[in-house]
Amino acid sequence: MSPGTVLITIGRLPKALDFARAFRAQGWRVIVAEPFGRHLTGASNTVAFSRVTPAPSVGKAAYLEALLDIVDRDSVDLVLPLSEETMHVAHLRDRLPSGVSVFAPPVDELLALHDKQSFAALADGLGLTVPRTAALGSADAEALAMGCDYVVKPALSCSGRGLSFGLAGTSPHPASSDARQIVQQRIEGDHFSTFSIAHAGRVATTVVYRGLVMSGTVAVAFERVDHPAITAWVEDFVSRTRHTGFISFDFIVDGEGVPYAIECNPRVTSGVHFIETADLAAATLDPAAPPPRVRASNRMQQFYPTLTETQGSVFDRSRFGTNFATLLTARDVTWSFRDPWPFITMPVTAFQIIARSIATGRSFGEVSTEDISWFEDAV
C-alpha cells in the first residue's frame, strides 16, 4: 500500500505513539482522532494534527459519524484502530468510501473474540486449552462452581475490571453491575500475555511477555520471554480462524507447562513495544514483509506509572526491590531523542487520566479506557 494519510483512532496510549512514528517514517501523513483534547501522541513531531471526537461511551453513532467526517474532510486512506475503540471503529468497515480501508476484522468476528464467553467456546471447539467457562446464572455455571475454584468477571471488559474469586463448592454471585458476566475455572499458575500481527491466518510476529510492575491488574513494566507452547497456541488459533488484524491473549500456564488462554484481546497490547518501531508499518500493511525485528531490550516500562508504583511500594519489601530495579534498568516505551516531547509532556497530556484515577481510586489502565470500551447498552 503506497503512503497516504493514516487515521489513528486513539492518541492517549503509548501504543499509538509507536504506530505514529512507524507510519511517519514510511512517508505517511499521520492524523489522530481522540476524545481527549490533549493526549500523548499529539505531542509527537510525527503527527500532522489531531481531531477531537465524541467519546464512544457518549454514543456509538455520534462517534462513528465523527470518524467518517474526518475520513472525508482529511482525505484519509487507512483507518487504524489500536485499543478498545477497535470494537467501535470496526463498524466503519462497510461505510468507508471506496479506496479507504480499516485494519480490523469484520465486526462479527471481532466481537466474538472480545466476548469472553464466545471466545472460550470458539477456542474449546478448536480443541485448544481454555478454562471451563459458563454464563453466570446458568446451570452450567453452578455446576462449574461446585467442582473447582472460579473467577467471576464481565463478559465484556478490559483492564481487569470487575473481578471476584470464589472457592469450589460456593455459589457464584455477580462481581459487578455488568449485564452479562461469566464464571470461569480458576487456573493456578503463571500469567503471560501476547501480542501478534496476523494476515489471513498467518502470524507475522508474536511477542510473549509478562508483567514486572503492576498498577492494579495492568502491567506498566514488562519483560519479553520465550515460551514456545504459548507461541504455538497462538499460531494454531490464528491459522484455524484465518484471522487478519491485531490479536492478543492472556494466558495462565499451569504447573505442568500447559497454557490456558483466559481471554482474547483483538487489539494492540503492550507487547507491541518490544517490536522495532521501524518495522511496524510494513508488518501491518504487507503480508509478504519480513518478520519484524524485536528490540534488543527485553524489559520495557511506562516510566511515570512505574515511578508512581515504585514510590507507593517503599514500605512493601516484597515489591519495592523489584519495582526499583525495573525503574532503573527497563527502557521507557515513549522516549526518543528525535521525538522527545511525548515523554517530557506526559504529566500534562495525561493529567485528565491521572486526576480521575486519583479521584476515583481506580487504576490508570481502567480509567484510560473507560470512555472507549465496548458495552452493549451504549447507542
Better-scored residue on pLDDT, 243 or 360 = 243
Q: Are residues 70 and 141 in the same domain?
A: no
Q: What is the pLDDT of residue 377?
A: 55
Displacement of CA 69 from its chain's centroid (Å): 26
The chain-wide mean pLDDT, for the chain, equals 94
Q: Are residues 238 and 292 in the same domain?
A: yes
Does the residue 31 lie in any domain? yes
Q: Are residues 269 and 216 in the same domain?
A: yes
Q: What is the mean pLDDT of residues 42-52?
A: 98
Q: Are residues 71 and 41 in the same domain?
A: yes
pTM over 0.85: yes
Q: Say whether pLDDT at 156 is over 80.
A: yes
Lowest-confidence range among 128-132, 221-225, 353-357?
353-357
Does the residue 120 lie in any domain? no
Q: Are residues 205 and 248 in the same domain?
A: yes
Does the residue 190 lie in any domain? no
Q: Say whether pLDDT at 202 is over 90.
A: yes
Q: Say whether pLDDT at 177 is over 90.
A: no
Q: What is the pLDDT of residue 229?
A: 98
Q: Say whether pLDDT at 378 is over 50.
A: no
Domain assignment of residue 77, given as a range: 1-103+345-379
Q: Say whether pLDDT at 318 is over 80.
A: yes
Q: Are residues 200 and 136 in the same domain?
A: no
Q: What is the mean pLDDT of residues 253-271?
A: 97
Q: Are residues 199 and 313 in the same domain?
A: yes
| 158 pLDDT tier (thresholds 50, 70, 90) | low
Q: What is the mean pLDDT of residues 272-295?
A: 96
Q: Are residues 362 and 324 in the same domain?
A: no
Does the residue 211 lie in any domain? yes
Q: What is the pLDDT of residues 88-113, one digit of tens each?
A: 999 999 999 999 999 999 999 999 99
Q: What is the mean pLDDT of residues 50-70?
A: 96
Q: Are residues 181 and 84 in the same domain?
A: no
Q: Are residues 285 and 314 in the same domain?
A: yes
Q: What is the pLDDT of residue 324?
A: 95
Q: Are residues 304 and 376 in the same domain?
A: no
Q: Are residues 78 and 157 in the same domain?
A: no
Q: What is the pLDDT of residue 159?
A: 58
Lowest-confidence range among 119-133, 160-174, 247-261?
160-174
Tally the domains of the chain: 3
Q: What is the pLDDT of residues 111-122, one digit of tens each?
A: 999 999 999 999
Displacement of CA 271 from its chain's centroid (Å): 9
Lowest-confidence range among 35-44, 173-182, 256-265?
173-182
Q: What is the pLDDT of residues 1-23, one digit of tens each?
A: 789 999 999 999 999 999 999 99
Does the residue 123 lie in any domain? no
Q: Say whether pLDDT at 160 is over 50.
A: yes
In the listed set 296, 313, 333, which residue is the last one of a domain according to the structure?
333
Q: What is the pLDDT of residues 346-356, one digit of tens each?
A: 999 988 888 88
Does the residue 26 lie in any domain? yes
Query: What CATH code is carried by the domain that includes residue 247?
Result: 3.30.470
Q: What is the pLDDT of residue 379?
A: 45
